[in-house]
Amino acid sequence: MSGPLRLIGIDPGLRHMGWGVIEHQGSRLTHVANGCVNSDNKADLASRLVELHDGLADVMRQFRPDEAAVEKTFVNKDATATLKLGHARGIALLVPALSGIGVFEYAPNLVKKTVVGSGHADKAQIQTMIGILLPKCSPKTADAADALAVAITHAHHRGSDDLQTRLQRAMG
């Protein structure tokens, strides 16, 4: 591909699903857009998942990314909250896959380490680094900033993921 590669990062959430679109060419990263798809927390789970699906599908149609990156779910002490997050994460994986693009996953600690330099960075540190790495970008929410961090992580690690995928296919 001769032009820039358009990447979407997705930070799954049932209430607020952050998304961020960047372009990557060589070592250059350019901010395209970011935002959140929100669901009505008073609606039933199925309706909320439809809202997330439809909103993210609109983002995919509008920005037409070449690849998607989704933050992996961490398991916390509240099993119900983890399960609900898992539903939202399913939407985050499904929508780009239905668009016919590659979907990659990254652990939260790897995202933080890639963007901030520490796997235990807080949201404020991530937002600060987003402003440095994407100078003309000021995400309105932490969820959008996290999604941009996922996209940046994919930009930095995608070559090794391509190699890993080729090796897995060759082995199995």
Provide block-wise average pLDDT over 10 residues at a time, the chain (172 residues): 89 96 93 97 96 98 98 79 89 97 95 89 89 90 95 88 45 45
- pTM, rounded to two decimals: 0.89
Structure tokens at 103: 């979907």
Residue 166 pLDDT: 42
Which residues on neighbouring strands pair with residue 105, listed in sequence order? 70
Q: What is the pLDDT of residue 1?
A: 52
161 has catalytic annotation: no
Residue 67 bears catalytic tag: no
Token output for 136: 């003309």
Q: Can you say whether the dihedral through the CA atoms of 134, 137, 138, 142 is positive or negative?
A: negative
Within a 13 Å sphere around the CA of 51, how many CA atoms are in the beta-carbon half? 18
Catalytic residue among 11, 23, 51, 67: 11
Tokens of 67: 């690849």
CA distance 114 to 9: 14
The one catalytic residue in 23, 67, 143, 146 is: 143
Q: What is the pLDDT of residue 100?
A: 95
Respond yes or no: is residue 71 known to be catalytic: yes
Among 54, 71, 122, 146, which one carries the catalytic annotation? Answer: 71
Model pLDDT, residue 158 = 86
In this prediction, residue 164 carries a pLDDT of 46
